[in-house]
Structure 1
């Protein structure tokens, strides 16, 4: 199988993007916090954006030089050595890989490049919705850097990075397309596994096994099943000691799956009807499809993210439905996200909770550009019966490009 790969031209494009960002913000370097080691799909991995290497580094990128990767342990060096020996696309020279992922390492690298009195841009000081409500840069780490370099000034550049990185190159779109194909295969395996008497864990295992068999990077899944669903999150048996639920005739199996390849991510929302489901679930799925189509109609260059959100809300507002999850959000990287949780408070049982607040829409003013990727995955609920569907879509030249097909409709088990 011919797999899409990144060339040195893609490396140079990304490094040029960083330098353009530094020029625009009048800073002399970037400090990029890449989160924890093996951070999973591309929810937060800007270090990999610049290194094309194992996640979990702090990247220091002087404007006048090449980026340096500060890694946690010698194991990263071993991975880098192996990649070089195998002829993999290694972007960071060995001289620029340091086992120094700590405040002292950041300070020493900035000092070595004469940047102790400079303005430095930082990625990692802002929230990264919808998956990270708080900044990922540890307070103690950054506070220690500033203590060691008291004449350093810094500026958070997360928003500027997101705006620039959202527009995918041709090479990135090929990688994203491959990730979407793995997501399709994952959903197909789940569909084949669903039948009465099978547990949620078996369906989960079928999807995850298929994605891993195809080489997906850190696939993920939320899953729920039943005749009444008000949400879909990590399976309860993954965090609470209890047996996985056994699927019954008349159930709806609802899942959100993610696949990544080359740290480019796609997401799909799966809905599988097991036999005849309740009419309200059928109606919810129909409205979710209408919301998906409304989003497609507006997902055009020149429109804003807020216009897509407004269009996708309309079918739910017209039918009295509510939604528990964001109808749409950006991906590669994440950032702009539709608000969620509207009208959940109409359920009488929610009156007992201490505080129920709707999450607001973030990034409404973002202008859409060709090559941006979004997850259109609307849910609709009538009372306690919720259904959803959708997949990953690219803003195209004249029309949006749907990367998924089977998950954008209600599926039915045989």
Structure 2
């Protein structure tokens, strides 16, 4: 079992949450989570309750410290486990109609007027609490204004504490083990789903849990994709293949993330080597540019070598990380600013702060999106640039068979 966060760490989080409530004049926060992406859609609940539900849950976090916070878990047989791990003392089953439990609790404490902050799962995609639950609250407490504060709440999580960084370092170590295991164990004749087993068994016995295991295998001389695949196809590995990877092992809710291509029984061809060299140079330029006070424009400029080499990108250039994806996030639309031209620079965008955890993942690909790779890692923003939390070498990984 992972050691729980200290009381000082949890107090820090609740102070930030209550500062947000005061800023938006809220009586409290109602935070929803579900089990998507190996429970990492629980990120907002987890951050305040130190609990990740296997199904769905709600956390009520009041502004008034004399009002008791409540965690409603999704399934009745999960209550005991939730009570054993959560920092919230009152844990109950939400029943088959959790919105009714929420309404009853708010009425009990007279919280029927004012503004209640709703925290969903993902502000970028507009994913909030279930619609029927929302309707029940609105219809049964009509004088309570429901205000979405998902985006500002997520921003509370972007700068990591020392305890969070310690968990991410351990998660990065476990993620590294999976790449080393692939490098050592994969062989021609294996189906791609066997590679998933190699990845996840490398850290499961050490307390890690899966977050992302994306793998694509294809012949170097007949490429058919530019990013790792979320679903195994059963394709059998062959000599001369390239294996594209995006892997995140989690430890105590926090994840590493690494991207490395492996080449099976052969050195990368000149075309693949050039892709790798461009990705690595973009990564190195980005790590130098990203320090406290730098902005998204600096990252886009640093990675412009990708466009200058005649490539574009398919996936995000970078994103915040830890429990789940957070701001800052630079998606593939940044390629419109390459090759770089000071006469039409990218918007400044958000600024980076010390101890933000950022996945840098330059992923050059051909314009037809049939050939590409990623070279990336979870990094920490420091005064000296973005520093990788991973130890896997930045080189093409050649599987000797």
Q: TM-score, normalised by structure 2?
A: 0.87
- CA distance in structure 2 between the partners assigned to 1:109 and 1:335 by the alignment: 31
Aligned to 1:48: 46
| Cα RMSD after superposing both structures | 2.5
Mapping for residues 351-390 of structure 1, pairs under 5 Å = 365-382=349-366, 383=368, 384-390=370-376
Aligned to 1:282: 273
Give CA-to-partner distance per residue, 1:72-127, whole Å, 9 cap, x none: 2222222135x2xxxxx54111x453434621112112212221112111111753
Aligned to 2:62: 62
* Aligned residues of 1:200 and 1:246 also touching (Cα < 8 A): yes
- SS at structure 1 position matched to 2:26: coil
- CA distance in structure 2 between the partners assigned to 1:80 and 1:267 by the alignment: 27
Q: 1:308 aligns with which of 289, 294, 299?
A: 299
Distance 1:180 1:303, change over 3 A: same
* Aligned residues of 2:138 and 2:146 also touching (Cα < 8 A): no
* Aligned residues of 1:42 and 1:265 also touching (Cα < 8 A): no
Aligned to 1:195: 187
Aligned to 2:112: 116
Distance 1:194 1:39, change over 3 A: closer
- CA distance in structure 2 between the partners assigned to 1:233 and 1:310 by the alignment: 28
* Aligned residues of 2:286 and 2:299 also touching (Cα < 8 A): yes
* Aligned residues of 1:190 and 1:204 also touching (Cα < 8 A): no
* Aligned residues of 1:126 and 1:156 also touching (Cα < 8 A): no
Is residue 2:387 matched to residue 1:396? no
Q: 1:261 aligns with which of 228, 240, 251?
A: 251
* Aligned residues of 1:251 and 1:277 also touching (Cα < 8 A): no
Distance 1:137 1:306, change over 3 A: farther
Cα distance, 1:305 vs structure 2: 3.1
Is residue 2:94 matched to residue 1:99? yes
Unaligned runs of 5+ in 1: 84-88, 238-243, 345-362
**How many residues matched?**
377
- CA distance in structure 1 between the partners assigned to 2:153 and 2:127 by the alignment: 15
- SS at structure 2 position matched to 1:224: strand
Aligned to 1:245: 235
Give CA-to-partner distance per residue, 1:305-336, whole Å, 9 cap, x none: 34323422x01111011211112111134233
* Aligned residues of 1:41 and 1:218 also touching (Cα < 8 A): no
Aligned to 1:18: 17
* Aligned residues of 1:259 and 1:267 also touching (Cα < 8 A): yes
- SS at structure 2 position matched to 1:34: strand
- CA distance in structure 2 between the partners assigned to 1:43 and 1:113 by the alignment: 29
Q: Which has the higher strand share?
A: 2
Aligned to 1:351: none
Q: Which runs of 4+ in 1 moved over 6 A?
A: 341-344
- CA distance in structure 2 between the partners assigned to 1:290 and 1:217 by the alignment: 32
Is residue 2:319 matched to residue 1:329? yes
* Aligned residues of 1:287 and 1:315 also touching (Cα < 8 A): yes
Aligned to 1:222: 214
Q: TM-score, normalised by structure 1?
A: 0.84
